[in-house]
Amino acid sequence: MCTVSAVPSGLSPTGDQVPNVETLVITHIFFVLALADLFCNLWPNSLTARCCGGLPRFLTGRFMIATSLQPAGEWAQKEFAFAVLGDLRLNKRLVNVATKLAASPGGTLPQAFPDWAELKAAYRFFDNRSVDYKRVLQPHFERTRLACREPGEYLIIEDSSNLDFSHHPRTQDLGVIGDGQGKGFEVHSALAVRVEAWTLEQRPEGQLVGLFDQQCRRPRPAPKGERRRKRLERRRKSSWWAEIFAGAEAPPQGCRWIYIADRESDFYEPIDRCQRKEIDFIIRGFQDRRLADEAGKLREALAKASVLGQCTVELRARGGEAARTAIVELRGVKVDLDGPWRPGGWQEPLRGVWVIEVQEVDAPEGVKEPLHWVLLTSLPCRTLAEARRIVGRYSARWWIEEYHKALKSGAGVEDSQLETGGRLEPLIAILAVVGVRLLNTKMLARSRPEGAEARESFGPEALAMLEKKFGRPKGPWSNQNVLIATARLGGFLARKHDGMPGWQTIWRGWQRLMWMCEGLETLNTT
Ligand SMILES: [Mn+2]
């Protein structure tokens, strides 16, 4: 389906832009096909090996993501047959188009469809308005949500990020982002991570399950001179947070979902939605809040709470400040919070919310803003051990930051060929799934550098290519050296002080590797 939607609606089969779009479509199909094969393969192996021991795969629930190198038709069937496009004929067409393109990933549309009638049908399909962002991603969401109903603990981390297309003046019909000057999209993602282990520092280690939800919007600027009441009535950015749970079934027994969001989401609606569905939450508070039934505010209650102890938080480099390990002091208190006013009246209080204050102590010199978090959570926080795990889980928010970086780099690799926002959206939907796969590879290279998942899933041809290009690695091919070699194809220098490769080089290298394998296959078959 990915494929399909990458050719946006409104495309004229005779229009000038057709060749461009074709190239783009094919390239991305190529990404998606190959990545789906490789990384889907990577993922269930490690999951089953790690958390499910010897259970047969069909019992673990992740069997549905397990695709090894399978024939194109089978793959397309699995990925796309269940997309809801409103018309079964469209599904049939979708599977057909994807199959054809999978079998001919290096070519153009006319090459994939030598028959003129079929080519016309493919263009008509791409033109169809039913093939949109949400529908492309729906099967992926459903698989993720189903996988999250297996017993275990899941972090569902939500955040938003901008895809900036300001530097493409020719692209029409984009949203307004940033300070109102930028143009592009706002992506709002909820990423599911399954917690599998805890480090000694009480930080969770886990496996990426997938996107629980994702929205892509082209925001319009707020009307000038809008009043507060009008603003509250309008559907605003803040109303999206945790909204995914409002219509969803609560998690089953033995299955814990912990919703994690930063202070953009503060505060009432997300907590209310989580409480109604008995979903745990850790949300960073933004403003001080009134307590219910008593005088006073949240910060005052925190100030009276006793200190539970200290722990450390790893901070990544940002805003010119280097990465550092912050030493923080923790306090916890349980409160009832007053409900805010919304059109229709005052809202019910939020009962029994734990609040943890995380305050950096002895911040090194030159640090402008010592770390200070106020976390609102459903998880009890009576002891230092409990508090440390809550802080550890909140720190796992960097998974989603890393994911958005992957998505931005992916969208940046080939962002210039489509000329309207509506055409770019389905392309972003495809890249969203590819980004999940790439993130998982990167995470495996980090958490299990010596693991063999990448070797198994890249397969002998890709490894032979890498070997031909860079020589045989000292040991066997591992998660880490496969990722590094792939990035080297994309321009990563891999010198001693270079650390791990960034997203740009990973994407570029991956793309090149796939083209090389394609060339090899062509040589071997002719
Ligand atoms: Mn944010």
Alpha carbon of 262 to ligand 1 centroid (Å) = 6
Do the domain assignments include residue 230? Answer: no
Burial of residue 407 (CB within 10 Å: 0-12, 13-18, 19+) is: buried
Does 217 lie in the same domain as 120?
yes
**Same domain, yes or no, for 107 and 243?**
yes
Task: Find the 322 Cα to ligand 1 centroid distance in Å.
Answer: 20
Residue 464 in domain? yes
Contact 61, 154 (CB under 8 A): no
Residue 425 CA to ligand 1 center (angstroms) comes to: 21
Domain boundary among 59, 83, 107: 59
**Domain end call among 59, 75, 93:** 59
- Whether residue 12 is found in the same domain as residue 74: no
Structure token digits, residue 308: 């539970």
Claim to verify: residue 75 and residue 168 sit in the same structural domain = yes
Task: State the Cα–Cα distance between residues 59 and 53, nearest whole angstrom.
Answer: 11
Same domain, 120 and 27: no
Cα-to-centroid distance, 239 and ligand 1 (Å)? 14
Residues with CB under 5 A from ligand 1 (ion): 159, 262, 264
- Distance (angstroms) between ligand 1 centre and the Cα of 117 equals 48
Span from the CA of 210 to the centroid of ligand 1 (angstroms): 19
- Compute the distance from residue 158 Cα to the ligand 1 centre, in Å: 8
Domain membership of residue 110 (yes or no) is yes
| Cα 265 to middle of ligand 1, angstroms | 8
Tokens representing residue 509 in the block: 């290298």
Mean pLDDT per 10-residue segment, the chain (526 residues):
29 32 40 40 33 28 31 62 77 74 50 60 65 80 92 96 81 80 89 92 89 90 74 68 87 95 84 93 89 85 92 87 92 92 87 95 90 95 95 95 87 51 67 74 82 75 88 89 90 87 83 73 72
- What's the domain range around 24? 1-59
Q: Report how far ligand 1's centroid is from the alpha carbon of 395 (Å).
A: 13
pLDDT of residue 11: 30
- pLDDT, residue 173, reads 77
> Distance from the CA of 351 to the center of ligand 1, in angstroms?
25
Tokens of 510: 């991956």
Q: Considering 59, 86, 102, which residue would you say is the last residue of a domain?
A: 59
Say whether both 194 and 311 belong to one domain.
no
Inside any domain, residue 440: no
- Residue 183 CA, ligand 1 centroid: distance in Å: 18
Which residues are 155's β-sheet partners?
193, 258
The total of structural domains in the chain comes to: 4
Alpha-carbon distance of 148 to 82, in angstroms, equals: 19
**Rounded CA separation 376/416 (Å):** 42
Per-residue model confidence (pLDDT) at position 490: 87
**Helices 421-447, 503-525: crossing angle, 10 deg rounding:** 100
Residue 437 lies in a domain: no
CA of 397 to the centre of ligand 1 (A): 9
Ligand 1 centroid–CA 513 distance in Å is: 34
Q: How far apart are CA 373 and CA 141, in angstroms?
A: 31
The residue type of 447 is: S
**CA 185 / ligand 1 centre spacing (Å):** 15
Structure token pair of residue 485: 């070699």
Instruction: Say yes or no: 5 and 85 in one domain.
Output: no
Do 476 and 497 belong to one domain? Answer: yes
What pLDDT was estimated at residue 91?
A: 78
Q: Which amino acid is at 262?
A: D
Cα–Cα distance, 266 to 284 (Å, whole number): 7
Task: Kindly give the distance from the C-alpha atom of residue 30 to the centroid of ligand 1, in angstroms, as a whole number.
Answer: 31
DSSP state of 251: P
Tell me, yes or no, whether 252 lies in a domain: yes
Q: What distance in angstroms lies between residue 286's CA and the mean position of ligand 1's atoms?
A: 12
Same domain, 344 and 484: no
For residue 414, report the distance from its CA to the centre of ligand 1, in Å.
25
> Residue 521: which CATH number?
1.10.740.10
Q: How far is the CA of 301 from the centre of ligand 1 (A)?
A: 26
Ligand 1 center to residue 118 CA distance, Å?
Answer: 45
| CA–centroid distance, residue 161 to ligand 1 (Å) | 7
Angle at 102 between CA 98 and CA 108, to 5 degrees: 90
pLDDT at site 427: 66
- Ligand 1 center–CA 508 separation, angstroms: 27
pTM: 0.74
- Ligand 1 midpoint to CA 400 (Å): 9
d(CA 184, ligand 1 centre) in Å: 17
At 380 the three-state DSSP class reads: coil
Residues 244 and 292 in one domain: no
The CA 58 to ligand 1 mean position distance, Å, reads 37
Cα–ligand 1 centroid distance for 188 (angstroms): 9
- 275 in a domain, yes or no? no
441 lies in some domain = no
Return the CATH number at 345: 3.90.350.10
Instruction: Let me know whether 244 and 367 are in one domain.
Output: no
The verdict on 292 and 358 lying in the same domain is: yes
| 313 CA → ligand 1 middle, Å | 18
